[in-house]
Amino acid sequence: MSRSAHPAGPRHADVLSEGHYAAPPADLNSLDPKVWAQTVTRDADGVVTVGGVPVTRLAEEFGTPAYVLDEADFRARARAWRTAFGQDADVFYAGKAFLSRAVVRWLAEEGLNLDVCSGTELATALSAGMPADRIAFHGNNKSAAEIERAVGAGVGRIVLDSFQEIVRVAHIAQSLGKRQRVQIRVTVGVEAHTHEFIATAHEDQKFGIPLAGGQAAEAVRRALKLDGLELIGIHSHIGSQIFDMSGFEVAAHRVVGLLREIRDEHGVELPEIDLGGGLGIAYTSDDDPREPHEIAKALSEIVTRECEAARLRTPRISVEPGRAIVGPTAFTLYEVGTIKPLEGLRTYVSVDGGMSDNIRTALYDAEYSVALVSRTSDAEPLLVRVVGKHCESGDIVVKDAFLPADLAPGDLIAVPATGAYCRSMASNYNHALRPPVLAVRDGAARVVVRRETEDDLLRLDVG
């Protein structure tokens, strides 16, 4: 497997092109609305502002590096998904992309549901007041304690991921005197990333129960027999950063095939189908993601058509977008520390963060954009590599990008579209203190997740 293979399948990295930034953009000072949060703009002095707050003020007040989250944009995107799917479908925000109590409150207010995949994500959701019945609990190895907590809290659904778990959840629900609503996660043999998908007969991965070999049908058989479980539907998640809807089409076809088998064998029409998350966002100006209303329309047409063909009542659809909601709403603000031109090779620009706040470039070969945000510049474009301050040569934030040639230490630069899977996958490598998440709105900024301190780290180290 290639070094840059995506955990959900090797193709994610393979399809990313080399030499992405073949030509400099026409205007280095412009901010492409595709990759920047909605309220991002430059003020009269050329300083980038977000939610009406200049980044220079954010850096002064809160320090760098920092994740800066545009609250109005987050709410607008959440609302757009909710509205697009309407009353006959449910949108579960995938908390793994980024979860904090502020975000949970925004989601609750905007009418979204929440997908959590650990006991601690569940605790975060509950502590911020997300009603338990709007929470779905995921994971391929939920502990007994996590299951007890979820069932006890009354979560809306647990997504069953293995044969052992079917029995475990049934047992725990029964011992708590409850009947737990569950879905069974199946693997449909579709793997989709970016512009391509592969449909195979089987799938070699840890999640879900394969449709192949009648395994999913057997799981359904067992779940239907257990008093502690109320089987409400089938779940499928096919990949991430997907632009092409045809993978969903094959997945829906296969899931509906299972629904038909269930009807024929048990006389039961399961009322729900969850098609997971994975919808792509723009990391660079070359990406063209679809709007939520197009996605909702496409998915609903696919499921309706498949169900009509199978003569099944169309089930209620749910989806679990994480990246597509939070990804574009945040950027990471860094200060430039050193600039190292290597004659005949490239110029390295080092910032005060790196792979500890964004592991995606190192892990997936992910592409990002970057801009000088504390001022404008008329200098020539310079092809650079933006790197972090960690003791590792793979500590790359943006592989290839153009920044103005007069870039200098002390300048602020920002990497857009870092709302998803950056803070949530951040580490303390080299004892880095994980950056804060600042929410900006209507000219005001507030800390929603504070910066870690030396004391935080030393408290864990009990000596």
> Residues at the annotated binding site for pyridoxal 5'-phosphate?
278, 320-323, 421
Among 81, 122, 421, 440, binds ligand LLP (CB under 6 A): 421
Among 95, 210, 228, 322, binds ligand LLP (CB under 6 A): 322
Cα 410 to Cα 341, 355, 437, distances in angstroms: 17, 20, 21
Least spacing, CB of residue 430 vs ligand LLP, in Å: 21
Nearest residue (CB) to ligand LLP, 58 versus 325: 325
Who contacts 430 (Cβ-Cβ below 8 Å, separation ≥6)?
356, 389, 390, 391
Binding to ligand LLP, residues 103-162 (CB under 6 A): 115, 138
Who contacts 458 (Cβ-Cβ below 8 Å, separation ≥6)?
none
**Is 277 an interacting residue with respect to ligand LLP (CB under 6 A)?**
yes
Dihedral sign from CA coordinates of 208, 214, 220, 224: negative
Structure tokens at 257: 């095939």
Nearest residue (CB) to ligand LLP, 53 versus 245: 245
Least spacing, CB of residue 266 vs ligand LLP, in Å: 25
- Considering only the stretches 71-79, 106-114, 322-330, 376-384, report the one whose residues sit in contact with ligand LLP under the rule CB under 6 A: 322-330
Task: Let me know: does 227 contact 170? Beta carbons within 8 Å.
Answer: yes
**Is 275 an interacting residue with respect to ligand LLP (CB under 6 A)?**
no
- Considering only the stretches 93-101, 305-313, 371-379, 449-457, report the one whose residues sit in contact with ligand LLP under the rule CB under 6 A: 93-101
Nearest residue (CB) to ligand LLP, 293 versus 375: 293
**Is 232 an interacting residue with respect to ligand LLP (CB under 6 A)?**
no
Least spacing, CB of residue 455 vs ligand LLP, in Å: 29
Nearest residue (CB) to ligand LLP, 47 versus 425: 425
Report helix angle 144-153 to 119-127, nearest 10. Answer: 30
**Is 276 an interacting residue with respect to ligand LLP (CB under 6 A)?**
yes
Dihedral sign from CA coordinates of 42, 80, 416, 432: positive
Instruction: Indicate the DSSP class of residue 30.
Output: -
How many C-beta atoms lie closer than 10 Å to residue 55's C-beta? 24
Who contacts 377 (Cβ-Cβ below 8 Å, separation ≥6)?
28, 29, 404, 406, 407
CB burial readout 129-168, b (16+ within 10 A) else e: ebebebbbbbbeebeeebbbbbbebebbbbbbbbeebbbb
Among 53, 58, 91, 94, binds ligand LLP (CB under 6 A): 94
Nearest residue (CB) to ligand LLP, 30 versus 205: 205
Tell me which residues touch ligand LLP (CB under 6 A): 94, 96-97, 115, 138, 237, 240, 276-279, 320-324, 360, 364, 420-421
